[in-house]
């Protein structure tokens, strides 16, 4: 049972434009959400997180939005750069300290 879903396996955007990656979850007990970026042949690296008490968190070009009523979060990258091309995973943490990851979205930023 997939509790965290990333329904878009891939996304292609032009350099300089906005990239929006989406993530849906089913468990209302999730209280902490994270985005990770993964390059080929490397482990995921942490990008940005958000607590369930917030609806937005910003770090430079990266902003995560959380809509608890819709059980939806999104990652906005503005402006997108070719170096942002990677697989992006969203993850959620529950009260029992378990982490649930989505299947990832492969972002391709075209120069």
For binding to other proteins (CB under 8 A), which residues are involved? 4, 6, 31-32, 34, 36, 41-46, 49, 51, 89, 91, 93, 96-104
Q: Which of 72, 70, 88, 77 is nearest to 9 (CA)?
A: 88
Q: How far is the CB of 31 from other proteins (least distance, A)?
A: 7
For residue 58, give every residue at least 6 positions away whose Cβ sits within 8 Å of its Cβ, in sequence order, or none: 64
Q: How far is the CB of 55 from other proteins (least distance, A)?
A: 17
> Which residue, 49 or 74, has its beta carbon nearer to other proteins?
49
């Amino acid at each position: 049972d997939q509790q965290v879903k990333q329904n878009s396996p891939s996304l292609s955007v032009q350099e300089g434009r906005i990239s929006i990656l989406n993530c849906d979850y089913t468990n209302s007990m999730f209280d902490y959400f994270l985005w990770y970026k993964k390059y080929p042949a490397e482990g995921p690296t942490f990008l940005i997180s958000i607590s369930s008490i917030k609806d937005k968190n910003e770090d430079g070009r990266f902003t995560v939005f959380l809509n608890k009523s819709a059980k939806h979060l999104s990652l906005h990258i503005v402006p997108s750069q070719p170096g942002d091309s990677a697989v992006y995973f969203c993850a959620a943490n529950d009260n029992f300290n378990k982490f649930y990851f989505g299947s990832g979205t492969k972002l391709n930023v075209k120069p």
